[in-house]
Amino acid sequence: MSKQTTMVIVLAFLIALAMGAGGGYWYATYWAPKEAASIPETPAKKPLFYRSPMNPEITSPVPAKDAMGMDYVPVYADEEKSGKGPAGTVKIDPVIVQDIGVRTAAAERRTLTRTIRAVGRVDYDEELLARPHPKTEGWIEKLFVDETGAKVQKDERLLSLYSPQLVATQQEYLLALRNLETLKTSPYPDIRQGAEELVQSTRERLQLLDVPEHQIRELEQTEKIQKNLHIHSPFHGVVLNIGVREGQYVTPQTEIYVLADLCQVWVYVDVYEYELPWVKVGDEAEMRVAAVPGRIFHGTVTYIYPYLEKQTRTVQLRLEFDNSDLLLKPEMFANVTIHASKQVDAVVVPEAAIVRSGAREQVFVVRGPGKFEPREVKVGVSAEGFTEILEGVKPGEKVVTSSQFLIDSESKLREATAKMREPQEEASTAPTDHQKHGKGLGKQVEDKETEAENPPSARHGHSSSVNSEQEGVKGD
C-alpha cells in the first residue's frame, strides 16, 4: 500500500471521529433535555416521621436512636393508611422482630393425652383391717400373740378369756342336751319339739359369744365345761397393735387387737386442679419404690376424693396395688405414674403462646411480615406442652411463641392510643357552633356589601331612566 493511500485512510478516520463527537455533543445539548423533560419524574418516597421501635408514642421528625441504641422506624403515608386493622394490631420492623427473638408456630389439630406423675404414700387397705372385741366381760388369761408386728395365720389363737357368762351359758347348753336326751322318746311331740328348740337357742347363744365351732363340738363330746374362751385371727396378716395384757379385765368396748392383711395395699397421691380433668376411676398406674429397685408395681385408680386440700390445693386419689409378696410396706414413699385414658382431639397451640392477663387469655396471630394481631381465645385442657383452643384460632394460623410480652405491651399501648384519638378525630371533623355562626355572619356581611355597592335608590333610578329612554324611542 502506498504512503498516499495510508494518509487518506487516517484522514477519513479522524474526520469520522470528529463528526461522531460533534453529533454526540449536539444530542446531549439539544435532544436529551427534551426527552428528560418528557419523562415524568417519580417523586421520592419520603417518610412522614420516625417512630420509636419500642414505644410508638415517641416520634421524631428526623432519624434518631432510642435509649437502647435502636434506630427509629420510618413511617410512610401508605403504611399509616394501611396499618389500620383490628384493635391493638402491632406492626414492627422485621429487623426489630429478629432482634427481639420473635418465634412463631402454626396451630394444628392433634390428639392430646396426658401422663400424670406424683409422689405417693403406701398405706393399709382399710377394708382388710380387723379390730376384734370380746362379746362378753371377763379377764385375759393368756396372750398367745404378745408382740406388735408379729405375723399371724388365719384362725390362729390370739388369747384366752375367762368369762363367768360364758361358763353359765355352757352349763345351760349341757342341761339342754341332757333334757333333750331324756325327752326324745316322749309320746308328746310338743314336748320333744320344745326340748330341741331349747338346745338350738343355747347353742346360738354360744355362737353369738364368738365361741368357735370346734369348742362347741368338744363341749358336746366331753360334756366338760371350758373355763376359757379362745379368740382367733380372722385372716393372714400382721399385728398392728395390742390393746390388752394378761390379767386385764375387759368388756365388749375393749379393743384387744388391731390386725392388717397386707396382701393388698392402698397408695394415696395428690394431683393438682389442672390435672384433675384427665383422671378417672379405673385408670392404670405404675409405681416404683426405692426399697425395691428395678421393680414396677401395677395398680388402678379406685377412688377420687370429693374435696380439695385447703393448704396444698390438691385433690387426693386412692390407688390399689397387689402386695402378695409383701414387698410394699405401709408409709413407704413411691413414684407413681398415672396413664390417663382420656384423649382429646382438638386444635392446639404451644402453651408458651398463651398470654394470660386477668380474666382472659389471648394469643398474637401473625397477619403479615412484622404485623401481629392480638386475639382473645377460649382454652381447654393442656398436655404435652400444648393447649387446646376451643375458640379463636383456626388450624394453620401462626401464633407468636416467644417475646409476646413485648408485643403485648406495645399492643395495649397502641389500643389505648387509638381509643384516645377517636374522640379527638370526631371533634376535629365536626363543625363547631362558632364556626356555623361565623359562616352565617360572613354571608350577612357579603349581602350588606352588595347592598352598599348597589343601593336600592340607585337601582330604582337607573331603572326609571332606562324606562324613560325606551319610551322616548317609542315616541320618535
Confidence class for position 141, pLDDT limits 50, 70, 90: very high
Furthest C-alpha separation in the chain: 184
Does 281 map to a domain?
A: yes
Same domain, 328 and 350: no
**CA distance linking residue 42 with residue 146, whole number of Å:** 109
Query: Which pLDDT score is estimated for 125?
Result: 96
How many other CB atoms are there within 10 angstroms of residue 412's CB atom?
14
Q: Could you tell me if residue 355 is left (phi over 0), alpha (psi between -120 and 50 degrees) or otherwise beta?
A: beta
Query: Which pLDDT score is estimated for 420?
Result: 57
Q: Is the pLDDT of residue 59 over 70?
A: yes
Same domain, 142 and 225: yes
Does 433 map to a domain?
A: no
Same domain, 72 and 176: no
pTM value surpassing 0.95: no
Same domain, 349 and 308: no
Q: Across residues 130-143, what is the average pLDDT?
A: 94
Same domain, 311 and 389: no
Burial of 410 (0-12, 13-18, 19+ CB in 10 A): buried
Same domain, 268 and 382: no
**Each residue's pLDDT tens digit, 281-325:** 999 999 999 999 999 999 999 999 999 999 999 999 999 999 999
In terms of average pLDDT, the best of 64-68, 71-75, 115-119 is 115-119
**CA distance linking residue 354 with residue 372, whole number of Å:** 14
Does 403 map to a domain?
A: yes
Does 9 map to a domain?
A: no
Q: What percent of the chain has pLDDT over 70?
A: 75
Q: Across residues 277-283, what is the average pLDDT?
A: 93
Domains of the chain: total: 4
- Owning domain of residue 229: 132-254
- Sorted by sequence, the CB contacts under 8 Å of residue 257 that are 6+ apart come out as 130, 131, 132, 145, 158, 239, 241, 242, 243
Sign of dihedral through CA atoms 205, 207, 212, 215?
positive
Q: Across residues 57-66, what is the average pLDDT?
A: 84
Does 473 map to a domain?
A: no
Does 64 map to a domain?
A: yes
Q: Across residues 363-373, what is the average pLDDT?
A: 87
Q: Each residue of 96-111: b (16+ CB within 10 Å) or e?
A: bbeeeebebbebeeee
Q: What percent of the chain has pLDDT over 90?
A: 42
Does 462 map to a domain?
A: no
**Each residue's pLDDT tens digit, 377-404:** 999 888 888 999 999 999 999 999 987 6
